[in-house]
Amino acid sequence: MKNSLKSKYHILIALLFGLITLQTIFLLVAVGNAKDLYSLAVDIHSIVIVFVFLIFVYIVVLYNYIPYRLHRAIKEVGSLVESISNGNYQLDIDSTTYDQDKDFQDLIFALDKMLGIIMRFDQVKADKIFEHHQRLQLLINLLPQAVLISGVNGDVVYCNENMRKRFPMISEMVNLNELIIKSDYHTRILSVMIDALRYGNNIYDVVVDDLIYLGKARINGSIVRNRKGISTGAVYVLDFVDHEKLD
């Protein structure tokens, strides 16, 4: 592994002090070997000009090199953090790309470890959500009543087997507002649910009579709301009573 940016900075500062020390040594040697005042002045003048120029060039390079390396390293890490913040956890991070700086490579290792934890947590959460969804579906299918779950715009989210038997045209691919039904009885049942959904009202024991076969349907429904109280859909339970049962 290469030296970290901090170590390189220390090395560059040490080289600067080395140039100053070398200049001092040259000046001392020039003073010790001077034969007269004029030659001493010429030697000192030459040494000072050469080393001042070298130190100036070195400081200019040092002044631009450190920010450049910092900006480059931070930009690379920043792009990774931005991808993670956007929900992209499927990142293939090659830590050897960042081996030019030990400190930043440690940060990359930490990010990679964090991504692994997030991925495992998301997988566990997805498994739990799937299991919970399966339990709810099985429970709804075991109910003797017809059950329908819809979105706020009328899209059917889920309906159990009893609902499909009563309304074969209803599935998770349709919208309640777009259904065209010939049966007046079924149309009035759907109208009750659509109106309740449109106005955001819960309904309790609303009875719709079948004028032809003398049956009836009792409808109960509740509006589903999010944490802000905004309607996101509804759940309806329909209990059908046929003419034979009424007798």
Residues 6+ apart with CB under 8 A from 213: 185, 242, 243
Secondary structure (3-state) at 181: coil
- Residue 214 φ then ψ, to 5°: 65, 25
**Is residue 222 over pLDDT 80?**
yes
Residue-level pLDDT at 9: 73
Residue-level pLDDT at 99: 58
**pLDDT class of 97 with cuts at 50, 70, 90:** low
Instruction: Name beta bridge partners: 206.
Output: 219
Percent of all residues in the chain with a pLDDT value above 70, rounded to a whole number: 89
Residues 6+ apart with CB under 8 A from 176: 150, 154, 155, 156, 170, 190, 193, 194, 197
**103-126: average pLDDT:** 80
Residues 111, 139: Cα–Cα separation, whole Å: 42
Convert the pLDDT of each residue in 126-148 to its tens digit.
899 889 888 888 888 888 999 99
Residues 77, 119: Cα–Cα separation, whole Å: 19
Given the structure tokens 């989210």, which residue do they identify? Answer: 157
Average pLDDT, the chain: 83
Q: At 15, list the tokens.
A: 């080289």
